[in-house]
Copies of this chain bind each other. A is one copy, B any other.
Amino acid sequence: MAEVSIDDVAARAGVHRSTVSRAFSRPEAVNAATRKHVLEVAESLGYRVNPLAQALRRRASKLVPLIVPDITNPFYGELARTMAAAAADRGYQLVLCVTGGEVAQTNAYLTSLQEMYAPFGIVAPSTSVDLDELQNVALGSKVVVVDRVEQAQVPTVTVDSAEGIALAVDHLRGLGHRRIAYVSGISGAYTSRDRLAAYEGLAAELDMPAMILDAGTGPDVGERAAERLVRMTAEERPTAVIAANDMVAFDLISALGVRGVSVPSEVSVMGFDGLEFGARFNPRLTTIRQPIADMGVIAIDLAEKLLKDGETAHVVLAPDLLIRDSTAEVPR
């Protein structure tokens, strides 16, 4: 188990260590036969290049921070999983950074990882991350942002909110719903805002009343929205609710349950995210699915493109409709 270094390989193969180095990192710069020999010797000794030494010299490591506000939220969990896989595919090692939504934490992580020569970072911003501020931070210019909507000087990958909301409204109207409310809130406030705008736009367009049950933030959006809903008279009460994201939908359904309102028989509820967990909720959640897996690999791609060409692209993905059991025909 003694660690074998490049010099060991060099000695054993009868070449200089620079040749060993080149055999690994610049194959074309070394004679094919020599290279083969070196590689064999390395293999037989169980040599592997030391990532720290390499990073120190090259001033570029393989560590990539993924910055999320809350890993407990399955949305970020799924994001982390696909991201980790995509990163590993390209030889990177994901470093998880949980900020708890604090921008100071985000900055701290970013600088800390820059000190480890991280080539770039991925950030899934919480409410308060100010992108402009991001620019001033170490590594700030080499960052790709996921699930954030505003155009910025950094690459982004998001899902088309308008399309998603349209899908949701279509689905509900197809079931006969005409009074369709909306609940905003919690994580991903920027996305929430964007989705809210889409909802309002669509409502106007379809000449449908826009009912915002709650647009606050914090952990009890569901509670407040449910409370508000049960207080309404039968005529004004919506027959369906679209939640800004799946977590809010879960929250809402739970809070409605506490108040004796059952979903979907009395109210239909839709989410937005397409979390796998939705299939295990009670009732199984109808939702707009974001292609989270794609977001992972695309984010890494964007980052590499940014490094190579300095190109700052904004990718917008299309969501799709996932019909499960939390929506039903309008009761009458």
Binding site for B on A (CB under 8 A): 1, 48, 50-53, 55-56, 61, 63, 66, 70-74, 77-78, 80-81, 84-85, 93-98, 112, 115-117, 138, 222, 247, 250-251, 253-254, 256-258, 263, 276-277, 279-284, 325
Q: Which of B55, B74, B247 contacts A52 (CB 8 A)?
A: B55
* Most chain B beta-carbon neighbours within 10 Å: one of A71, A80, A84, A250: A71
In angstroms, Cα B325 to Cα A116, docked, is 48
Q: Which of B93, B250, B257, B282 contacts A95 (CB 8 A)?
A: B93
Report A205 CB to chain B, min CB distance, Å: 33
Q: A98 contacts which chain B residues (CB < 8 A)?
A: 80-81, 84-85
Q: A84 contacts which chain B residues (CB < 8 A)?
A: 71, 96-98
Q: A96 contacts which chain B residues (CB < 8 A)?
A: 66, 80, 84, 94-96
Closest to A48 in B: B115
Residue contact A71 to B61, C-beta cutoff 8 Å: no
For the complex of A and B, the 4 pairs showing the least CB-CB separation, nearest first, are A96-B96, A257-B282, A72-B77, A254-B282
Residue contact A138 to B74, C-beta cutoff 8 Å: no
In angstroms, Cα B95 to Cα A94, docked, is 7
Report A261 CB to chain B, min CB distance, Å: 11
Q: A74 contacts which chain B residues (CB < 8 A)?
A: 72, 74, 77
Report A14 CB to chain B, min CB distance, Å: 25
In angstroms, Cα B84 to Cα A66, docked, is 13
Q: A281 contacts which chain B residues (CB < 8 A)?
A: 250, 254, 281-282
In angstroms, Cα B77 to Cα A97, docked, is 12
In angstroms, Cα B63 to Cα A93, docked, is 11
Q: Do A70 and B81 contact each other (CB < 8 Å), given the known contacts A257-B283, A283-B257?
A: yes
Residue contact B72 to A116, C-beta cutoff 8 Å: no
Q: A63 contacts which chain B residues (CB < 8 A)?
A: 95
In angstroms, Cα B71 to Cα A66, docked, is 13
Q: A52 contacts which chain B residues (CB < 8 A)?
A: 52, 55-56, 61, 115-117
Residue contact B72 to A81, C-beta cutoff 8 Å: yes
Q: A251 contacts which chain B residues (CB < 8 A)?
A: 280
Residue contact A254 to B276, C-beta cutoff 8 Å: no
In angstroms, Cα B280 to Cα A247, docked, is 9
Q: A77 contacts which chain B residues (CB < 8 A)?
A: 71-74, 77
Residue contact B282 to A253, C-beta cutoff 8 Å: yes
Closest to A80 in B: B71
Report A323 CB to chain B, min CB distance, Å: 14
Residue contact B78 to A72, C-beta cutoff 8 Å: yes
Q: A279 contacts which chain B residues (CB < 8 A)?
A: 254
Q: A263 contacts which chain B residues (CB < 8 A)?
A: 282
Instruction: List 20 A–B pairs whose Cβ atoms lie within 8 Å, in order of A's numbering.
Output: A1-B138, A51-B115, A52-B55, A52-B115, A63-B95, A66-B96, A71-B71, A71-B81, A71-B84, A72-B77, A74-B77, A77-B77, A81-B98, A94-B95, A96-B96, A222-B280, A247-B280, A250-B277, A254-B281, A281-B281
